[in-house]
Structures are given as C-alpha cells and as structure tokens.
Amino acid sequence: MKTHATLAALAVALAPLAAHAAGSSAHAGVDGVVRYPFPGATPTLACAPLTVCTIALQSGEAVSGLATGDSERWIIATSPSGPGGSTPLVLVKPKADSLQTNLVIATTAHVYYVQLISTRQWSNGRIAFYYPAEELAAQAAAAAKRAEEESENATPPPQPVDRSYTIRGAAQIAPREAYNDGTHTYVRYDKLPSDVPVVVAVAPDGTNQIVNYRLLDTTFVIDGVPSGVDLILNAGTGKHGRGELRVAIRHI
C-alpha cells in the first residue's frame, strides 16, 4: 500500500518535469529539426517551392488520415522512417511560391494541426514533435510502479509466535505489547511516547546489559530473545533516580 509519504515524495520528484511540461517551447536540435511541444501552438512548416519538406511524428503511431486546404497545389504523402520503419514521416511539397494553407494529420495516437507556407525567403522545412505531458505521465506511472514494487517487496512484519510477556511500570512509556519470533524480540507501541526510552536487556542475574536494537516505525526490534527487557527514560536523574521512568518487560 502506498503511504502519504511515498506519494508526497513522488510529487516532489516529479515537480521539475511538471514545470517543464507547462512551460515547454519549440527548439532546434543539432540535426536541424525544429521540435514543437504537443499539444501546443500550431507549428508552421515553411518550405521552398518544388522542395520536399518533412514532418516527423511519434515513433509507434500510424497515420490514419491526411487533409489539406489546398490539395491542388500541395503534394502530401507519408513514408516510414527510423529503426524498423516505426516513425511515420509526412512529406510535403509545394508546387509554387507564396502559397499558404493548413494540414491536418490524424494518427492512431494524436491529431496534428500544421500551417503550411511556401516561400523562398526563409525556411523551416524539417519539423517534429515532443510530448512533455506524456513524458510526465510516463514518469509518474514508472515512479508509482516502483513504489508499489518496493512496497510489495518490503520485508513483511514478523508474525508473533510467543506473546508470553508481562509489562509493568511507568504508563507514560509503557508499550502496547511484547512478543518474540525465536530470533528477535519486539516491543510495539500504538504511538511512540514523546520521549523515546532506551532499551536494555535483563541478564539472568537481573542486571541490565547492553543489547542491539533498532526502531522500526513504532516497534523496537531487539536482537535475540532475552529473559527480560527494561525500557528506561531519564536514567538516574534526581536523587536516587527518582526522576527516572522505567518499564519492566519479562518473559513468563
């Protein structure tokens, strides 16, 4: 199950990409192709007369229809390109100078709107698209999948096998329960006290001894199965340790 903390972490991780998607603009690559964000403002393909210009679409989609406002003076065709022919390429050729019309490209994934201009004055004859919103969605889906896999692969909490413990002492630091699984001893709180006590083991002679332990969420996980555990807060404070709080947990 995803926690609020996990979702918040995802939101923080994806925030830069979301900002990028919101403010995306056209840019020219080193290959000479001008790439426009999709969806976004309508791009303009400026093509010299009797010259073939290109519009590259997204890899994996297929062109299902083409329509232009001037099919008499513009030649429009399609061609596969890229590895395995997976990237559709729309070929555009104006028959004369100073023409202007529009082009609608329908594919299995998108509908593109492009302005067409024939001119010898300037050129923008190779355009393509990039998809920041889809990148964001893919990133979010991948992050959610990773979070779910991490949650599923997390070590499940141990199943208590021995709950034969007594718990006596200061109510302010008393836990909900104690149990062991034969390898570790677990001391669980419903909610941790505001001041977390120190954990020490009880030796057979009744003296306290240092023990390895760690805190996971609201549970102390103690190495081994000692005969008893003491939880101590403010050890030795005040005269004769009168400010000390202590809880004795004993296996019976």
Q: What are phi and psi of 6, to 5 degrees?
A: -65, -45
DSSP 8-state class, residue 86:
-
Which distant-in-sequence residues (6+ apart) come within 8 Å of 203 by Cβ?
A: 209, 226
- For 116-149, letters b (16+ CB in 10 Å) and e give bbbbeeeebbbbbbbbbbeebeebbeebeeebee
Res. 83 pLDDT band, cuts 50 70 90:
very high
| Tokens 């677990």 -> residue | 186
108-122, 153-167, 198-212: the lowest-pLDDT one: 153-167
The answer to pTM > 0.85 is no
| Element spanning 81, H or E | strand 74-81
**Mean pLDDT computed over 64-81:** 96
The yes-or-no verdict on residue 241 having pLDDT over 90 is: no
Give the integer Cα–Cα distance in Å for 113 and 175: 66
| DSSP labels, 178-221 | EEE-SSEEEEE-SS--SSPPEEEEE-TTS-EE---EEEETTEEE
pLDDT in tens, 35-51: 999 999 999 999 999 99
* CA 157-163-168 angle, 5° bins: 115
The yes-or-no verdict on residue 5 having pLDDT over 80 is: no
pLDDT in tens, 130-168: 999 898 888 888 888 887 777 666 555 566 689 999 999
Helix (H, G, I), strand (E, B), or coil: what is residue 22? helix
Q: Residue 67 in contact with residue 104, Cβ under 8 Å?
A: yes
Q: Residue 123 in contact with residue 47, Cβ under 8 Å?
A: yes
What per-residue confidence (pLDDT) applies to 214? 93
**Mean pLDDT computed over 67-93:** 96
| Element spanning 147, H or E | helix 132-153
Nearest to 125 by CA among 167, 92, 159: 92
